[in-house]
Chains A and B, each alone.
Chain A
């Protein structure tokens, strides 16, 4: 009589134990995640905290943990820092990024459409040629690029730098946009073709909306990559007025304008981090699509 009851009880208590163990493991997982998350956020948070200290406190030895007074003076100092102040460098970086974004979108969309929907002699060779540039790191062709850019007087111009950046974006952009166009069913264009619409108007009126996610992805990568790029910007710009943000910040770190102003430098770090972070956080889904599409599937 009692045996089945006991059995049921032990079973229930075993289930209870298992549930408790699962809960404990889950709690442990969250604990580890939280600790790691704090460690990962620390450098950015620390930079921000120091950027809003008073300039003198930001230079204190040893450093203070928390600001005794919150101030935007480091940011104000940046506006007059160096030869021309940070605004010009933010402008430089923005202009280069916008040209890169616009150029990458136009070229990748046209090219992706061409490779996805048309047959023409040499198509495969040209497609492989574009993609094979992925194998060649731009670092190894910077010397002739520099010589060429100097030759046509495009060094020290934001446009020249943007042209180079657009080229770096193309293999990825073409690959992604071609896949976007391939994913659109043929029937959608066919009726428009039968109605006698031209290819450009089909692309513009019909297809653009359908491949918009791909375009957004191309735009995000073009922006973030050009905004962050350092080596080419360092090489192609010798005029300090034309420095992009990362190159300008490096001149602060190297103490070209006198003693290294660490408070102002951290304010500059925050200024240059914000656009990339904002774009990433707002459009994360598209960014991840690109990462998976670009890295895994090719």
Chain B
């Protein structure tokens, strides 16, 4: 009897201790995540300037969204950018992963080099690229002119199409190493025997790719694609730094437009309404991610 009582109180002490251990984390997440999340919803129903009176606005902010041409343009731009930047990241990532797959000599050095740009901030890499792309002192124009590939210096960031292309180039450089590592993990999880027996059956490179490699690493492929898509939908730094949203407001992403409305025009309620839409898109994407990753287990 005494023993069980002692056990019980010990159990309870353990419970309390456990709760105390996770308390700081729970407090942080509540204050800096749960409350702001609820507040975003709340603010989206209000006219909320930084200073001055805020007023209940009902669905006005959401109604304004459908009339905001720049918002629709930004949605369109963000999805177009995502659709254009994802394939090159994935394909180059796959090629790199295939190249560094086997543990041949010095291969670690190459893996490290391809991964290096990932640990550089996107903001800083954008500052590096905007300078390399400059029409006057940029190295790309210098090389192109020296090789007689262009008649005169190109304003890469000055026209919507080329701006999109060169920003994609810079982002591929900055992020492809991440995709490479994910796909490398997928490739290395495939047993060599499968390839060997396929070779005995006379399968060539493409048959092995289609019947062995791709199906067996589909979880890694899905993960790499979804993480890359999420990152692109949330992009901001490269547009803010490299093009400032130009030329003619053609490179303003969703996050950029939220930023402008909330922190330049201080229409925070309106920004909150846009954030809710963004949130919906991302929860859907993450839900898709969880679904795809769960499948095999």
CB <8 Å contact, A47 and B128 = yes
- In the complex, are the beta carbons of B33 and A231 less than 8 A apart? no
Q: How far is the CA of A159 from the CA of B142 in the complex (A)?
A: 44
A114 pairs with B22, CB closer than 8 A: yes
Q: Is A91 an interface residue (CB 8 A)?
A: no
List, in ascending order, chain B residues with CB within 8 A of A266's CB.
128, 131
Query: Which has the most chain B C-beta neighbours within 10 Å: A139, A167, A292?
Result: A139
Residue in B36, B100, B121, B283 whose CB lies within 8 Å of A228? B121
Chain B residues closer than 8 Å to A273, beta-carbon distance? 120, 124
Question: Could you tell me if A250 and B241 are in contact, using CB atoms closer than 8 angstroms?
Answer: yes
Set of chain A residues within 8 Å of B33, measured between Cβ atoms: 133, 136, 141, 167
Interface residues of B (CB under 8 A from A): 14-22, 24-26, 28-29, 31-37, 39-40, 43, 50, 96, 99-100, 104, 109-110, 112-114, 116-117, 119-125, 127-132, 134, 136-139, 141-142, 145, 173, 178, 181-182, 185, 220, 223, 227, 230, 234, 236-237, 240-241, 244, 255, 258-259, 262-263, 268, 271-272, 275-276, 278-279, 282-283, 286-287
- A120 to B16, Cβ gap below 8 A? yes
* Cα separation A229 to B234 with both chains bound (whole Å): 14
Residues of A within 8 A of B (CB): 26, 29, 32-33, 36-37, 40-41, 43-44, 46-47, 59-63, 65, 106-108, 110-111, 113-115, 117-121, 123, 126, 129-130, 133-137, 139-148, 150, 163-164, 166-167, 170, 174, 199, 224, 227-231, 234-235, 246-247, 249-250, 253-254, 262, 265-266, 268-269, 272-273, 276-277, 279-281, 284, 287-288, 291-292, 295-296
Docked Cα-Cα span, A141 to B276, in Å, equals: 9
On whether A119 and B223 interact (CB within 8 A), knowing A143-B272, A145-B36, the answer reads no
Known contacts A46-B132, A119-B18, A139-B278: A269-B124 contact under CB 8 Å = yes
B181 touches which of A46, A60, A246, A288 (Cβ 8 Å): A288
CA distance A48 to B156 in the complex (A): 23
Q: Determine whether the beta carbon of B279 is less than 8 Å from that of A140.
A: yes
Q: Is the CB of B230 within 8 A of A63?
A: no
Could you list 9 A-B pairs, sorted by A, with CB under 8 Å? A36-B110, A115-B22, A118-B17, A136-B283, A141-B33, A143-B271, A144-B272, A170-B28, A246-B123
Q: How far is the CB of B47 from chain A (nearest CB, A)?
A: 14
A34: min CB distance to chain B, Å: 8
Using A44-B116, A140-B278, A276-B119 as known contacts, say yes or no to A123 and B182 having CB atoms under 8 A apart: no
Residues of B near A123 (CB, < 8 A) are 18, 22
Q: How far is the CA of A269 from the CA of B123 in the complex (A)?
A: 10
Q: In the complex, A135→B43 CA distance in Å? A: 21
Interface centre among A40, A133, A292 (most CB of B within 10 A): A40
| A230 CA to B21 CA, complexed, in Å | 32
Q: Are A135 and B286 in contact (CB under 8 A)?
A: yes
Contacts of B28 in A (CB 8 A): 107, 163, 166-167, 170
- B24 adjacent to A107 (CB under 8 Å): yes
Q: Tell whether A114 pairs with B113 under 8 Å between CB atoms, given A47-B128, A129-B29, A130-B25.
A: no
Which residue of chain B has the shortest Cβ distance to A46 in the bound complex?
Answer: B139
Inter-chain contacts of B20 with A (CB < 8 A)? 114
Across-interface contacts of B22 in A (CB, < 8 A) = 110-111, 114-115, 123, 126
Could you say which of B14, B112, B130 contacts A284, with CB atoms under 8 Å apart? B112
Cα A121 to Cα B37 with chains together (Å): 25
A41 touches B255 (CB 8 A): no
Looking at the assembled complex, report how far the CB atom of A208 sits from the nearest CB atom of chain B, in whole angstroms. Answer: 14
- In the complex, the answer to whether A43 meets B132 with C-beta atoms within 8 Å is yes
Contact B121 A140 (CB under 8 A): no
Q: Which residues of B contact A163 (CB under 8 A)?
A: 28, 32
Cβ of A190 to closest chain B Cβ, rounded Å: 13
Minimum distance in angstroms from B149 CB to a CB of chain A: 14
CA distance A247 to B236 in the complex (A): 13
Q: Please, how many angstroms separate the alpha-carbon atoms of A37 and B258 in the complex?
A: 38
Name the one of A106, A144, A291 contacting B35, with C-beta atoms under 8 angstroms.
A144
CA distance A288 to B111 in the complex (A): 11
A120 touches B15 (CB 8 A): yes
Q: Return chain B residues, CB-CB under 8 Å to A164.
A: 32
CB <8 Å contact, A246 and B121: yes
Nearest CB to that of B136 among chain A residues?
A61
Query: In the assembly, what is the distance between CA of A26 and CA of B20, in Å?
Result: 57
* From B113, B122, B124, B129, contact of A272 by CB (8 A): B124
Instruction: Indicate if the CB atoms of A230 and B122 lie closer than 8 Å.
Output: yes
- B255 contacts which chain A residues (CB < 8 A)? 139, 231
Chain A residues within an 8 Å CB radius of B185: 292, 296
CB of B76 to closest CB in A, whole Å? 19
A250 and B127 in contact, given A63-B137, A133-B29, A235-B263 (Cβ under 8 angstroms)? yes
* Contact, CB under 8 Å: A146 / B25: no
How many Å from the CB of B49 to the closest CB on chain A?
A: 11
